[in-house]
Amino acid sequence: MSDTAFAAVFYLFAALSVVPAIMIFVGRDVVHGAFWLLGTLAGFAGLYLMLGADFLGFTQILVYIGGILVLLLFGVMLTQRTPVLLGRTRAARAIPAGIATVALGLFLAKKLIGAPGMSRLSESLKVKGATEPGATRELGSLLLTDYILPFEIASVVLLAALVGAAYVARRGSGENP
Amino acid sequence: MTGPAGSLPLSTGRGSREATAIVYQELLNPHHAQTYTGRAYWGLFPFAALFVPVLTAGLFVAWEAVVHLTGLTRTTGEFWSVARPLLLGLGWVHVILIFITIFSMYAVWMERKVSAHMQCRTGPMEVGRIQGSIFLWKRFNFRLWPKSWSPHGWLQTLADGLKLMAKEDLIPKDADRWIFILAPIVAFTGVFISFLVIPFHGVLSSFIPADLDTGVFFFAAVTSIEAIGVIMAGWASNNKWALFGAMRAATQVVSYELPIGLAFLTAVVAAGSLRVSDIVAAQGPDYGMLAWFVFRSPFLLLAFVIYFISSLAECKRAPFDLPEAESELISGFHTEYSSMRFSIFFLAEYAAMYVVAAFAAVLFLGGWWTGIAPVDHFLADAAKSDGLLPRLAAVGIGVFAVVGKSMILVFFQMAARWTYPRARLDQVMYLCLKVFLPFGLLTLVGGTAWELWLEGGWPKALLG
């Protein structure tokens, strides 16, 4: 892909992930926020795909869009039917919040502008080796050889969370534990 | 106040169980009148907008098809290296769109005919009647077809579709307008992009929109996007039935992803790859039908059964059509939808039927292999030959095999719909979490052990 096309696609996905993120905290409706999240998550998945990390990108779709977002919407809809309007921040809180935001923004902007490769976007984004075919196969074999211990620990932790959730959610757990 | 059900008195400070009870009380309040805004014939506009890109991309796709068949060398150059992927992508989009449209049209017709014949009726018979015939031999009154002949209502869906397009486009006044409008688009997009990894054939080279490294994983990931569209529809409609339908859809679709994922993994373990074309390549051309994954091990057979039944739940088909249960919820999440917006939900549903059937055909039923060993060998040889005729024949057979197998599975989806009564929600969840999930784990572990025991499958081990 030529550099201009690459940059165009990058800015498309960047806008897709940033604009909804802004809308989430500008907007006052919780359910709308949850729907805006769809755009942010999809934009991030697109960025991962662009970097050649297809497995990561599809995991983003599977876990965040297909799982977490659906459950989030489910929870929001089940508990609160009226649009839950978030109260406006009071002026007394706005001043320290504004100072903190501007300071953080300046700090990040300084770091980002000084970073190498900001001018040559496509080169800095093309991670060596990640775009070659067979990256997923490599990932799989690494997970089951070199990184087998962290992989297994993570799966045991997840299993423990699953068992715990089933215990908490089982029928009548509130009355006779 | 804008937004759905703005009048509901619900404070946010309650415990969730109490709040849920109040939500249900309010939802069941019969004094929930709905008013609508709408414009006639607006449904026509999105349809008309399709034509220009269809024509431009269609020409390019025709050219690429010629190149694909004849094996001509492609034109190269700076311009084409950028333009080809773009045009090809656009072309594939339109191939899939046209395929979905034609398939849905005839699937709806087929569904009506199947249901009719299962209930000793005839179904649509009249639309598309042909008056007049062509004489082959006038003296003996010998005609090509009867003088007044109706080929079993073959244009019924076209008539229905035209009616839907011409209908008024209604949006409830209290609906969340933008989410209401976006919902069918999101639902359709979710199904549409899962077509990316569905092969039409793979005989000469993989004729798949995108033969991804992680095709199966991609498919598992994107099928859940449709659920978000359904939730959006249910929430934005400002209708209690729609909301109930959306909640049911969310529960059901998220749960059934687990057994589907386990069934996929069993097939992936047998093939040793997540790429769709590799999985099909592992099912032929030797040993004919015995090489198909359904017959490779008892565990894969079980995985196929689990996948087929779970896919009914995933695309909300009866007996798992709780999200739109007509007898309880009017028509569930699309109660408030009419005109073209309603038909886009309908298109999404029928496209989802084809997609899951085609994926079952690819993963378990040998994809583009016909299951007849000599024919499969011919397919494998034709890929290497230069003659136009064998290449053309091979492509024809490949497309016929993939689409034919998928259509047979679609027929079984329809037959199941008109055979079984609708399951209750707790029965649906019981089937998923307490039957399919343990058995899915069994197929994964058992299938892996089987592959380690009989490397390369039993036909190779037994028949040599």
ipTM computed for the complex = 0.76
Q: Do B181 and B57 belong together in one domain?
A: no
Give B-chain residues touching A54 at CB under 8 angstroms: 212-214, 218
Residue B456: left if φ>0, alpha if ψ -120 to 50, beta else—which one? left
Whether residue B351 contacts residue B195, with contact meaning beta carbons closer than 8 Å, is answered with: yes
- Subunit contact B214:A62, Cβ cutoff 8 A: no
Q: Do B351 and B395 belong together in one domain?
A: yes
Q: Do B89 and B166 belong together in one domain?
A: no
Q: Do B242 and B331 belong together in one domain?
A: yes
CATH top-level class for A3-146?
mainly alpha
The mean pLDDT value for B442-459 works out to 85
Strand partners, B219: none
pLDDT of B298-341, one tens digit each?
A: 899 999 999 999 999 888 887 888 888 777 877 878 888 877 78
Q: What per-residue confidence (pLDDT) applies to B309?
A: 92
Q: What per-residue confidence (pLDDT) applies to A130?
A: 45
The beta-carbon neighbor of A133 closest among B186, B213, B225 is B213
Least confident of B2-11, B24-33, B102-111: B2-11
Give the closest-approach CA distance of A68 to chain B in angstroms: 10
A65: nearest Cα among B212, B215, B342, B189: B189
Interface test with A, best of B24, B189, B194, B235 (most A CBs within 10 A): B235
The beta-carbon neighbor of A65 closest among B179, B220, B225 is B225
* Res. B7: pLDDT tops 50: no
B4 occurs within a structural domain? no
- Closest residue of B to A32, CA-based? B179
Whether residue B19 contacts residue A80, with contact meaning beta carbons closer than 8 Å, is answered with: yes
pLDDT of B390-428, one tens digit each?
A: 888 888 888 889 999 999 999 999 999 888 888 888 888
Q: Do B140 and B272 belong together in one domain?
A: no
> Would you state the structure tokens that stand for residue B400, as one six-digit string?
């016929």
Domain range list for chain A: 3-146
pLDDT of B50-81, one tens digit each?
A: 555 555 566 666 666 666 666 555 666 666 66
* Res. B365: pLDDT tops 60: yes
Interface test with B, best of A55, A62, A170 (most B CBs within 10 A): A62
A32: nearest Cα among B16, B232, B19: B232
> Would you state the structure tokens that stand for residue B3, as one six-digit string?
């937004």
Q: Do B304 and B448 belong together in one domain?
A: yes
Strand partners, B143: B135
Q: Residue A122: enclosing H or E segment and its boundaries?
A: helix A121-125
Q: Do B182 and B164 belong together in one domain?
A: no
Handedness of CA B351, B354, B360, B361 (dihedral sign): negative
Q: What is the largest CA-CA distance in chain A?
A: 65
Q: Do B346 and B358 belong together in one domain?
A: yes
Q: Do B129 and B227 belong together in one domain?
A: no
Q: What per-residue confidence (pLDDT) applies to B259?
A: 92
Which among B171, B203, B233 is the end of a domain? B171
pLDDT of B268-299, one tens digit each?
A: 998 888 888 888 888 878 887 888 888 888 89
Give the closest-approach CA distance of B84 to chain A in angstroms: 11
A87 touching B (Cβ < 8 Å): no
Q: Residue B456: enclosing H or E segment and its boundaries?
A: none
B153 occurs within a structural domain? yes
Q: Do B201 and B246 belong together in one domain?
A: yes
Q: How confident is the model at residue B263 (pLDDT cuts 50, 70, 90)?
A: very high
**Higher model confidence: residue B41 or residue B339?**
B339
Give the closest-approach CA distance of B99 to chain A in angstroms: 25
B9 occurs within a structural domain? no
Whether residue B323 contacts residue B331, with contact meaning beta carbons closer than 8 Å, is answered with: no
Residue-number span of the structural domain to which B72 is assigned: 36-98
Q: Do B140 and B182 belong together in one domain?
A: no
The beta-carbon neighbor of B221 closest among A38, A62, A134 is A62
pLDDT of A22-47, one tens digit each?
A: 888 777 777 788 888 888 998 888 88
Q: How confident is the model at residue B452 (pLDDT cuts 50, 70, 90)?
A: confident
- Subunit contact B214:A84, Cβ cutoff 8 A: no
Residue found under tokens 């190269």? B76
- Residue A20 CA to residue A43 CA, distance in Å, equals 9
Which among B80, B98, B116 is the end of a domain? B98
pLDDT of B187-203, one tens digit each?
A: 888 888 888 888 887 77
- Closest residue of B to A68, CA-based? B254
B358: nearest Cα among B410, B281, B293, B291: B410
pLDDT of A86-142, one tens digit each?
A: 555 566 677 888 899 899 999 888 887 766 655 555 454 554 444 455 577 777 888
B463 occurs within a structural domain? yes
Q: Do B71 and B180 belong together in one domain?
A: no
Give B-chain residues touching A32 at CB under 8 angstroms: 176, 179
- Residue B280 CA to residue B163 CA, distance in Å, equals 41
- Residue A77 CA to residue B266 CA, distance in Å, equals 35
Neighbouring residues of B132: CB distance < 8 A, sequence distance ≥ 6: B147, B148
Number of folded domains in chain B? 3
Q: What per-residue confidence (pLDDT) applies to B57?
A: 61
